Amino acid sequence: MKYFINIILFLSILLISTGCAGKKEIKIENEDSNVEVIPEKIIKEIKHVNHNPFYPLKDKIEDLEFKINELNAQILEYESSLIAPSINSEILKLVKTPKIEHEIIINNGTIIQGKIIQENSDYLIIQTRIGQLKIEKSQISSIKEMEPLKANIIFNEMTIEEKISKTNLKFSGSLVNNGSRRGDFIRVIYYLWENDTSPALVDSIFISGNTVKFDNGVISDTSLDPGDTGNFSISINLPDTLNISYWTKEIKYDMFE
């Protein structure tokens, strides 16, 4: 009996010591290091603290995509500005191109256009748009003088309309540039004649054509490139003192680089 009581007491003491040990911090020491191991139960009790995020999460995915595309466009614009140099009208004025006055055909069929600036019995030197070329005459098949480039503005007679009254004349129609160069500031002039040899009345109007910005900054819409067509319309009031018998018309224009 006494032996049985001792066993119960021993088991009770063992259970009490085991319960007390569960409440204490358990440390496992290693011979090689002093690492302290925290029980899993204590780790689960650590609460996560949610701080403010570094990037605002209020923006939607669409907003982020828009910002990325906008940044990409700015990068492309910056790169293009580095690659493409800006050339203004002042720089273009310094670049002088020679007038084409001669066309030289080489024996192999090559055509060279430019201006002959020097010639002797053996060779000639021609100024081209890419520089001077020295050509042996034995290599030349033929030399032809070229007509200078110029505009040729004419009336399109099939489109001319004339409205006549006692107090007013109205003319309208179109013009075409059949030349090889642009015509600028094109103007249609009408001369009204009586029976004598001097015009009784003169009136003019600029056509409606292509818009061109010139080197001096002037912008005009009265130009025609080769092959292009422009229109005009003019109204002339007649004084009672004039007795108009007939009228004539002409075109005046300039040519600028």
Query: Which residue range is the domain that position 128 belongs to?
Result: 97-145
Judgement on whether residues 140 and 172 belong to the same structural domain of the protein: no
CB atoms within 10 A of CB 4: 8
In 3D space, the residue among 108, 225, 112, 143 whose CA is nearest the CA of residue 178 turns out to be 225
Tell me which DSSP letter residue 217 carries. S
CA distance from start to end of the chain: 133
pTM of the full predicted structure? Answer: 0.51
The reply to whether 101 falls in a domain is yes
Q: Which of 85, 111, 145 lies at the terminal end of a domain, its last residue? A: 145
- Closest by CA to 90, choosing from 213, 216, 184, is 216
Does residue 225 lie within any of the structural domains? Answer: yes
40 occurs within a structural domain: no
If you average pLDDT over residues 140-154, what whole number do you get?
85
Q: What is the pLDDT of residue 146?
A: 78
Model pLDDT for residues 224-241, shown as the tens digit of each residue: 999 999 999 999 998 888
Residues in the chain: 257
The string of pLDDT tens digits covering residues 21-46 is 444 444 445 555 555 555 555 555 55
**Count of domains for the chain:** 2
One domain for residues 185 and 133: no
Residue 233 belongs to a domain with what CATH number? 2.60.40.10
pLDDT digits (tens, 9 = 90+) for 171-203: 999 999 998 889 999 999 999 988 877 788 899
Asked if residue 127 is part of any domain, the answer here is yes
Looking at the fold, whether 129 and 160 belong to one and the same domain comes out as no
